[in-house]
Amino acid sequence: MHPIYTYIKDNLSDTYTPSEGAALAKWILTDVFHFSVTELYGGKGTNFPENERKRLEDILGRLRNFEPMQYILGEARFDGRTFRVTPDVLIPRPETEELVDWIVHDHPKSHLRVLDIGTGSGCIPITLALRLDRPEVAAWDISGQALAVARENAETHGVKIAFSQTDILCPHVPSINKVDILVSNPPYVTENERADMAPNVLDWEPELALFVPNNDPLRFYRRIAGLGRELLVPGGSLYFEINRSYGKEMVQLLHDLGYREVEIRQDLSGNDRMTKAIRP
């Protein structure tokens, strides 16, 4: 391996596991400094310019402070595309890609209307706008800073999304045409789960998009599913990404609200992570 690879791993050894350090070393050298496979694995040292050394030391210092690499780079990959991310938005997760795949698989029709609630970086509505057949897509978020990031991503990927700054817990929400698909990845981490969270998430990602009270972990799902009865066309589809600990409770909530064909799916790690329901 290149000596700089070893240097990065050693530099991060007090903060990250050996496998994490190895992954970060490869990520830094290939994505930031554009090392080829030959340069990375050849083990032959090459001149590393002083300005690049300064940049490397800045990255390593930020990583030792547990800042996520995606925020350092200002971008994250989602469904094969690059999205701008900042600490104002959650870093897109592979589990959310699985949710998008489910939606796309279920909806081959053209000109469907889609609403994403709690859009963050915009990765869900933008990807659906690109993968569905000529949909009409809207997206809401309470955070103006998050919407600025989402709008930039929509422009980068050349799609038209109707964004709106909306607090869905308020009694009144924007008036829109009924939609065929309502999707949301809302806050679902309970306060009790803070102690189990890694510092690169807890210290850096926006709390507004993460946490719900211990005494009401389904508050956003209850509200959004209630709105879905108004916003979805009859037979329209509601999709959620969910807290793995509340799969049974989600099924009961959706049944209580009159939804039919309620389904839970597990993610690649075997956790209850997604749910779908049909508006009556």
Q: Which residue has the higher pLDDT, 267 or 196?
A: 267
Given a cut of 90, whether residue 193 has pLDDT beyond it is: no
Q: Which of 184, 167, 164 is nearest to 238 (CA)?
A: 184
* Cα atoms in the 13 Å half-sphere on the side-chain side of 211: 16
How is residue 8 annotated by DSSP? H
Three-state DSSP at 84 gives strand
pLDDT at 194: 84
| Band of pLDDT at residue 267, cut at 50, 70 and 90 | very high
Percent of the chain predicted with pLDDT > 90: 78
Where does residue 110 rank: exposed (0-12), middle (13-18), buried (19+ CB within 10 A)? exposed
pLDDT at 43: 64
Q: Which residue has the higher pLDDT, 138 or 194?
A: 138
Considering the entire predicted model, what is its pTM? 0.92
pLDDT at 189: 87
Where does residue 101 rank: exposed (0-12), middle (13-18), buried (19+ CB within 10 A)? middle
pLDDT at 116: 98
pLDDT at 202: 82
Q: 183 with 124: CB under 8 angstroms?
A: yes
Q: Which residue has the higher pLDDT, 96 or 194?
A: 96
How is residue 192 annotated by DSSP? G
Q: 154 with 161: CB under 8 angstroms?
A: yes
Mean pLDDT of 147-173: 96
CA distance 82 to 12: 26
Which two tokens mark 211?
């946490």
| Band of pLDDT at residue 39, cut at 50, 70 and 90 | confident
Given a cut of 90, whether residue 239 has pLDDT beyond it is: yes
Q: 33 with 52: CB under 8 angstroms?
A: yes
pLDDT at 44: 63
Q: Which residue has the higher pLDDT, 210 or 226?
A: 226
Amino acid present at 278? I
Of 24-33, 39-48, 176-185, which range is least confident?
Answer: 39-48
Where does residue 258 rank: exposed (0-12), middle (13-18), buried (19+ CB within 10 A)? exposed
CA distance 89 to 151: 12
| Band of pLDDT at residue 254, cut at 50, 70 and 90 | very high
The DSSP line for 85-135 is: --TTSPPP-HHHHHHHHHHHHH---BS-EEEEES-TTSHHHHHHHHHSBS-
CA distance 169 to 149: 22
How high does pLDDT run on average in the chain? 93
